């Protein structure tokens, strides 16, 4: 009987490993690229090591999640979703960036930006409470992250000081958000019903199982309250007592030190902690509140939704680059597209598979972008590469994916080879003409060639193609003008040649879960089998 049970357990473990073989759908040996050094932390699901990039010697953190510990489909999905969300939010200066994901037989490895300055929680504990000016600076960072999340259709659901790290110790440490293990993609107007989060920071509507992105602002309000006075606004001796306080206890803005805190500070706290989420401030309203302004913590410029920034960048690119981005988008793994897919479906209100000008305008409006219909129409026309007056999924991906995808060599090669039909190693004028005809676009191919063909040999090699894809507006415009001028002088073309269609400017660039964070307060777990070894 015992032998039989032992055999069953062995089979079960083998089945789990096989079943979880492609958690991140990206295989590879992390040690081909990184040298493992000392252990930085350990939790229930894995271990964090300091690692060094073999090529650059840069330091990173690598979280190695034991696949043996992912015992349910929910555990697997939690890891997958968190990686998807962090990839989706990439590029924000106050969010920890993922450098790469790897997977082997026993572990999922997530290499990410190293934050060696500890948790924001520890800074608060050391200080007791912050000055209003310092609290406003921290709140600006936190709420700017929340604003970015919300405009990218992500609700965090576990905002607390422990989930913000500092890049270094001392006054120059930059605050970075981490631990998106409870985050979810959401549709504007849709509600969630899971009770998740950390007790002190949970919004009342979460406890009522009917909430949306407004719950994140409540959590930010709790953090601000703690920053200003040193303790949470709602507390108790047990989780249930805390929840009862959140639902019904009055907000205390009278006890010490609140008499010494400014009226504007009390006003923003009161409005962030409004129990009715409909009366609660939005992220943008928090950032533009008078208290933030009085403490020089207002945004340097008006906040524009990230998706609109990316669309505007896309419209400034030449047609070759726009079509190349479409090729890259088509070749990206599903893991990297999950967030953009959610955003597309959110804008595609009638589920037709395309976005009309009205749907685009309404989708941008819901994200806080009130722009003229004429600009919305122009944006749609420039994104609509096939000319059907709508934006399809591939066109949407090309226009909204983060340009950090251009740093990956495999993406650039795939795009170049798409245009290099004869595999000669060059994109010729004829190949450009063919590519433009395939998408039914009339464009001055000679102007594109002049802008990209830096050495003037009449075609585009791979290096020139990469320079074009990664160039800034000014670089491309200057190159185009110089190339056209040289062409005119050398060939004595007629002056009318200079009056051809102008080149477009290019654009530059439940709480226990398997989190990919660099830290954690969960109790140490048993050593997982085949633990990644540090370098000796």
**Cα(408)–Cα(174) distance, rounded to whole angstroms?**
26
Helix residue spans in 152-213 (DSSP H): 204-207
CATH number of the CATH domain containing 198: 1.10.510.10
Phi first, then psi, for residue 164 (nearest 5°) are: -125, 125
DSSP letters, 79-113, are: HHHHHHHHHHTTT-TTBPPEEEEEE-SSEEEEEEE
Q: Which phi and psi (to 5°) does residue 66 adopt?
A: -70, 120
Whole-Å CA distances, 322 to 380, 401, 439 = 13, 12, 11
Last residue of a domain, one of 390, 407, 424: 407
SS3 helix, strand, coil % of the chain, rounded to 5?
Answer: 50, 10, 40
Q: Find the domain containing 376 and state its range.
A: 306-407
Using DSSP, state whether 66 is helix, strand or coil: strand
CB 476 within 8 A of CB 318: yes
The verdict on residue 232 lying in a domain is yes
Same domain for 394 and 434: no
Q: Are residues 105 and 251 in the same domain?
A: no
Residue 253 is predicted with a pLDDT of 96
CB of 132 closer than 8 Å to CB of 295: yes
Q: Which residue is associated with the tokens 């654009």? A: 507
pLDDT value for 516: 56
Instruction: Answer yes or no: are the C-beta atoms of 115 and 166 closer than 8 Å.
Output: yes
Q: What is the mean pLDDT of each run of 10 residues along the chain (536 residues)?
A: 44 45 66 92 84 94 90 88 91 90 89 90 82 92 95 94 90 88 89 93 96 97 95 94 96 94 96 97 94 74 80 88 87 82 91 93 88 91 88 91 79 88 89 80 79 87 89 47 41 37 33 49 43 51
Determine the Cα–Cα distance for residues 196 and 426; give it in Å rounded to an integer.
54
Q: Is the dihedral of CA 190, 193, 197, 199 positive or negative?
A: positive
Given a contact cutoff of 8 angstroms between Cβ atoms, the answer to whether 272 and 139 are in contact is: no
The reply to whether 430 and 346 lie within a common domain is: no
Tokens of 127: 């200080």
Q: How much is the pLDDT for 73?
A: 87
Are residues 400 and 427 both part of a single domain?
no
Q: How far apart are CA 516 and CA 110, in angstroms?
A: 7
Q: Is residue 421 part of a domain?
A: yes
Cα separation of 399 and 406, whole Å? Answer: 13
Give the start-end residues of each E strand in 59-190. Answer: 59-66, 98-103, 107-113, 154-155, 164-166, 175-177, 184-185
φ, ψ dihedrals at 52, nearest 5°: -120, 135
Last residue of a domain, one of 384, 407, 430: 407
345 phi/psi in degrees, rounded to 5: -65, -30
Q: Which residues are annotated as a binding site?
A: 63
* Amino acid 401: pLDDT: 85
Distance CA 372, CA 360 (A): 12
If you search the block for the tokens 């040289």, which residue do you land on?
486
Are 88 and 154 in contact, with CB atoms under 8 Å apart?
A: yes
Which residues sit opposite 95 in a β-bridge? 177
Total domain count, the chain: 4
**What does pTM read for this prediction?**
0.75
**Domain end among 378, 407, 436:** 407
Does the residue 327 lie in any domain? yes
244 in the same domain as 208: yes
- Same structural domain, 401 and 416: no
In CATH, what number is assigned to the domain containing residue 392?
1.10.238.10
Exposed, middle or buried, 391 (CB in 10 Å: 0-12/13-18/19+)? buried
Residue 58 is given by DSSP the state -
Q: What is the pLDDT of residue 200?
A: 96
Q: Is residue 525 part of a domain?
A: no
Same domain, 64 and 176: no
Contact of 430 with 424, CB cutoff 8 Å = no
Do residues 198 and 276 both lie within one domain? Answer: yes
Assigned domain for 520 exists: no
H, E, C per residue of 307-376: HHHHHHHHHCCCHHHHHHHHHHHHHCCHHHHHHHHHHHHHHCCCCCCEECHHHHHHHHHHCCCCCCHHHH
- Say whether both 398 and 425 belong to one domain: no
The catalytic site residues sit at 158
65, β-bridge pairs: 46, 108
Do 91 and 132 lie in a common domain?
Answer: no
Both 162 and 239 in one domain: the answer is yes
- What backbone phi and psi angles, to 5 degrees, belong to 3? -60, -40
Q: Which residues, 6 or more positions from 347, have their beta carbon under 8 angstroms from its beta carbon?
A: 355, 359, 360, 362, 363, 396
Task: Point out the annotated binding site for ATP.
Answer: 63
With tokens 């998740």, the residue in question is 196
Question: How far apart, in whole angstroms, are the C-alpha atoms of residue 398 and residue 330?
Answer: 8
- Largest Cα separation within the chain, whole Å, is 94
Q: Say how far apart CA 254 and CA 266 lie, in whole Å.
A: 10
Domain-located, residue 42? yes
Q: Is 366 inside a domain boundary?
A: yes
How many Å apart are CA 445 and CA 300, to the nearest integer? 40
């Amino acid at each position: 009987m015992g032998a039989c049970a032992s055999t069953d357990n062995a089979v079960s473990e083998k089945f789990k490993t096989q079943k979880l073989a492609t958690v991140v759908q990206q295989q590879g040996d992390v040690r081909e690229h990184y040298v493992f050094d000392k252990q930085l932390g350990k939790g229930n699901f894995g271990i964090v090591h300091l690692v060094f990039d073999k090529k650059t010697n840069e330091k990173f953190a690598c979280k190695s999640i034991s696949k043996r510990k992912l015992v349910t489909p929910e555990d697997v999905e939690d890891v997958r979703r968190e990686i998807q969300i962090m990839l989706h939010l990439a590029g924000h200066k106050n969010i920890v960036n993922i450098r790469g994901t790897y997977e082997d037989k026993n572990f999922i490895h997530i290499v990410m930006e190293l934050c060696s300055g500890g948790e924001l929680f520890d800074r608060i504990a050391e200080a007791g409470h912050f000055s209003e000016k310092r609290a406003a600076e921290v709140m600006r960072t936190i709420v700017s992250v929340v604003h970015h999340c919300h405009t990218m259709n992500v609700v965090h659901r576990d905002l607390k000081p422990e989930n913000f790290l500092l890049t270094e110790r001392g006054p120059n440490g930059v605050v970075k958000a981490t631990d998106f293990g409870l985050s979810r993609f959401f549709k504007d107007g849709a509600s969630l019903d899971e009770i998740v989060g950390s007790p002190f920071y949970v919004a009342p509507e979460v406890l009522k199982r009917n909430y949306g992105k407004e719950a994140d602002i409540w959590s930010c309000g709790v953090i601000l309250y703690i920053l200003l006075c040193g303790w949470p606004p709602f507390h108790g001796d047990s989780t249930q007592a805390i929840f009862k306080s959140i639902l019904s206890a009055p907000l205390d803005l009278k006890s010490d030190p609140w008499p010494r805190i400014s009226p504007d500070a009390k006003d923003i706290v009161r409005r962030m902690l409004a129990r009715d989420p409909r009366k609660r401030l939005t992220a943008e309203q928090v950032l533009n509140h008078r208290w933030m302004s009085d403490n020089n913590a207002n945004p340097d410029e008006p906040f524009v939704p990230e998706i609109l920034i990316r669309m505007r960048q896309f419209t400034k690119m030449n047609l070759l680059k726009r079509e190349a981005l479409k090729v890259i988008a088509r070749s990206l793994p599903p893991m990297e597209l999950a967030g953009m897919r959610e955003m597309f479906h959110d804008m595609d209100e009638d589920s037709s598979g395309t976005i009309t000008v009205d749907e685009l305008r309404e989708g941008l409006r819901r994200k806080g972008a009130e722009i003229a219909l004429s600009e919305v129409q122009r944006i749609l026309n420039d994104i609509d590469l096939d000319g059907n007056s709508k934006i399809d999924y591939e066109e949407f991906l090309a226009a909204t994916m983060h340009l950090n995808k251009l740093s990956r060599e495999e993406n650039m090669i795939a795009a170049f080879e798409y245009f290099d039909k004869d595999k000669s190693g060059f994109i010729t004028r004829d190949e450009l003409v063919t590519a433009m005809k395939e998408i039914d676009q009339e464009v001055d191919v000679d102007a594109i060639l002049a802008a990209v063909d830096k050495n003037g040999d009449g075609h585009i090699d791979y290096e020139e193609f990469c320079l074009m894809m990664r160039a800034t507006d000014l670089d491309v415009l200057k190159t185009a003008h110089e190339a056209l001028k040289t062409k005119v002088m050398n060939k004595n073309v007629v002056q009318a040649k200079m009056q051809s269609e102008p080149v477009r400017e290019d654009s530059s660039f439940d709480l226990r879960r398997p989190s990919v964070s660099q830290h954690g307060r969960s109790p140490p777990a048993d050593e997982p089998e085949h633990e990644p070894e540090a370098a000796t």
